Amino acid sequence: MDITEQHIRCAKNNQLAQLLDTSPQTVSGWQYGKHYSERRINIGVSKGIPKEVLISGIELRRQDAAKANQLQSELATFLDENSRASDSLNTQEDDHLTQEDDPHGV
Protein backbone atom coordinates (compact mmCIF):
# COMPACT_ATOMS: atom_id res chain seq x y z
CA MET A 1 0.00 0.00 0.00
CA ASP A 2 1.23 3.47 -0.86
CA ILE A 3 0.66 6.22 1.69
CA THR A 4 -0.70 9.39 0.10
CA GLU A 5 -1.05 13.02 1.16
CA GLN A 6 -4.66 12.24 2.03
CA HIS A 7 -3.55 9.50 4.45
CA ILE A 8 -1.28 12.00 6.20
CA ARG A 9 -3.93 14.71 6.06
CA CYS A 10 -6.62 12.53 7.64
CA ALA A 11 -4.48 10.52 10.04
CA LYS A 12 -5.26 10.72 13.72
CA ASN A 13 -2.55 12.48 15.71
CA ASN A 14 -1.55 9.22 17.39
CA GLN A 15 -1.30 7.44 14.02
CA LEU A 16 0.96 10.11 12.53
CA ALA A 17 2.96 10.20 15.76
CA GLN A 18 3.50 6.46 15.56
CA LEU A 19 4.48 6.73 11.91
CA LEU A 20 7.03 9.47 12.59
CA ASP A 21 8.21 8.24 16.01
CA THR A 22 7.02 11.23 18.02
CA SER A 23 4.21 12.15 20.41
CA PRO A 24 0.62 13.01 19.47
CA GLN A 25 1.14 16.37 21.21
CA THR A 26 4.04 17.15 18.89
CA VAL A 27 1.91 16.27 15.86
CA SER A 28 -0.89 18.48 17.19
CA GLY A 29 1.57 21.36 17.47
CA TRP A 30 2.40 21.06 13.78
CA GLN A 31 -1.21 21.83 12.95
CA TYR A 32 -1.01 25.11 14.83
CA GLY A 33 2.18 26.56 13.42
CA LYS A 34 5.03 24.73 15.11
CA HIS A 35 7.57 23.47 12.61
CA TYR A 36 8.16 19.76 12.15
CA SER A 37 11.75 18.56 12.23
CA GLU A 38 13.66 17.21 9.28
CA ARG A 39 14.49 14.22 11.49
CA ARG A 40 10.78 13.31 11.75
CA ILE A 41 10.35 13.59 8.00
CA ASN A 42 13.40 11.38 7.47
CA ILE A 43 11.88 8.75 9.78
CA GLY A 44 8.79 8.70 7.54
CA VAL A 45 10.97 8.52 4.44
CA SER A 46 12.84 5.56 5.97
CA LYS A 47 9.46 3.79 6.21
CA GLY A 48 8.86 4.24 2.48
CA ILE A 49 6.81 7.44 2.38
CA PRO A 50 8.08 10.05 -0.08
CA LYS A 51 9.27 13.26 1.55
CA GLU A 52 6.98 15.36 -0.66
CA VAL A 53 3.95 13.33 0.44
CA LEU A 54 4.77 13.86 4.11
CA ILE A 55 5.40 17.59 3.79
CA SER A 56 2.34 18.15 1.62
CA GLY A 57 0.13 16.05 3.91
CA ILE A 58 1.29 17.98 6.98
CA GLU A 59 0.64 21.28 5.19
CA LEU A 60 -2.87 20.12 4.29
CA ARG A 61 -3.44 19.29 7.98
CA ARG A 62 -2.37 22.84 8.86
CA GLN A 63 -4.76 24.33 6.34
CA ASP A 64 -7.60 22.14 7.60
CA ALA A 65 -6.89 23.15 11.20
CA ALA A 66 -6.76 26.85 10.30
CA LYS A 67 -10.08 26.61 8.47
CA ALA A 68 -11.67 24.65 11.33
CA ASN A 69 -10.45 27.25 13.85
CA GLN A 70 -11.85 30.07 11.73
CA LEU A 71 -15.23 28.39 11.39
CA GLN A 72 -15.37 27.50 15.08
CA SER A 73 -14.60 31.11 15.97
CA GLU A 74 -17.32 32.38 13.65
CA LEU A 75 -19.80 29.93 15.15
CA ALA A 76 -18.83 30.98 18.70
CA THR A 77 -19.44 34.62 17.76
CA PHE A 78 -22.79 33.73 16.23
CA LEU A 79 -23.82 31.76 19.30
CA ASP A 80 -22.70 34.55 21.62
CA GLU A 81 -24.67 37.15 19.66
CA ASN A 82 -27.75 34.93 19.60
CA SER A 83 -27.43 34.24 23.30
CA ARG A 84 -27.45 37.99 24.03
CA ALA A 85 -30.41 38.51 21.71
CA SER A 86 -32.23 35.62 23.38
CA ASP A 87 -31.53 37.06 26.83
CA SER A 88 -32.90 40.41 25.71
CA LEU A 89 -36.06 38.81 24.33
CA ASN A 90 -36.54 36.77 27.51
CA THR A 91 -36.21 39.90 29.65
CA GLN A 92 -38.77 41.75 27.52
CA GLU A 93 -41.12 38.75 27.73
CA ASP A 94 -40.67 38.56 31.52
CA ASP A 95 -41.47 42.30 31.82
CA HIS A 96 -44.58 41.83 29.68
CA LEU A 97 -45.77 38.87 31.77
CA THR A 98 -45.25 40.80 34.99
CA GLN A 99 -47.46 43.61 33.75
CA GLU A 100 -50.17 41.17 32.69
CA ASP A 101 -50.05 39.37 36.04
CA ASP A 102 -50.71 42.63 37.92
CA PRO A 103 -53.53 44.50 36.13
CA HIS A 104 -53.26 47.40 38.60
CA GLY A 105 -49.57 47.92 37.87
CA VAL A 106 -48.60 47.49 41.51
- Which amino acid would we find at residue 32? Y
Give residue 49's pLDDT.
Answer: 97
Q: Determine the pLDDT at residue 100.
A: 59
pLDDT tens-place string over residues 29-53 = 988 778 889 999 999 999 999 999 9
Number of residues written out for the chain: 106
- How large is the average pLDDT for residues 20-37? 90
Predicted pLDDT at 60: 95
Q: What is the per-residue pLDDT for 83?
A: 87
Cα 26-29-34 angle, rounded to 5 deg? 110
Domain ranges, ordered by start, for the chain? 5-101
Q: How confident is the model at residue 95 (pLDDT cuts 50, 70, 90)?
A: low
Q: What is the pTM of this model?
A: 0.72
